Amino acid sequence: MSTEATIDSPAAAAAKAKQNTLLSPRFYTTDYAAMDRIDVSPIRAEWDTMMAEYEGDNNHDHFQRTPEFGQEVAERFSQVSPEMRQEFLDFLISSVTSEFSGCVLYQEIAKKASNPDIKALMRYMARDESRHASFINQSLKDFGLGLDLGDVKRTKAYTYFKPKYIFYATYLSEKIGYARYITIFRQLERHPDKRFHPIFKWFERWCNDEFRHGESFALIMRSQPHLLRGGNVWWIRFFLLAVYATMYVRDHTRPMLHHAMGLDSDAYDYTVFDITTQISKQVFPVSLDTDHPAFRAGLTRLFRIQQGLDAAKAQGGVIGAIKRAGWAVAGVATFTRLYLLPVKHHALPANVRVAPAW
Ligand SMILES: [Fe+2]
Ligand SMILES: [Fe+2]
Sequence ranges of the domains in the chain: 19-233
The pLDDT assigned to 3 comes to 47
Distance 207 CA to ligand 1 centre (A): 8
**Start-to-end C-alpha separation, the chain:** 31
The pLDDT assigned to 23 comes to 79
Distance CA 197, CA 78 (A): 10
Q: Give how far Cα 76 sits from Cα of 23, 70, 73, 145, 259, Å.
A: 30, 10, 6, 19, 16
Q: Which tens digits make up the pLDDT trace of 127-137?
A: 999 999 999 99
Residue 7 DSSP one-character state: -
Q: Do 289 and 339 touch, CB atoms closer than 8 A? A: no
Distance 149 CA to ligand 2 centre (A): 17
Ligand closest to the CA atom of residue 205: 1
User: What pTM was computed for the model?
Assistant: 0.94
The closest of 176, 348, 170, 147 to 277, measured between CA atoms, is 176
Ligand closest to the CA atom of residue 130: 1
Q: Which tens digits make up the pLDDT trace of 258-269?
A: 999 999 999 999
The pLDDT assigned to 4 comes to 62
Distance CA 331, CA 248 (A): 14
Distance 216 CA to ligand 2 centre (A): 10
Residues of the chain short of pLDDT 70, as ranges, are 1-4
Angle subtended by helix axes 203-222 and 44-56, to nearest 10: 150
Distance CA 311, CA 201 (A): 36
> φ and ψ at 29, to 5 degrees?
-120, 165
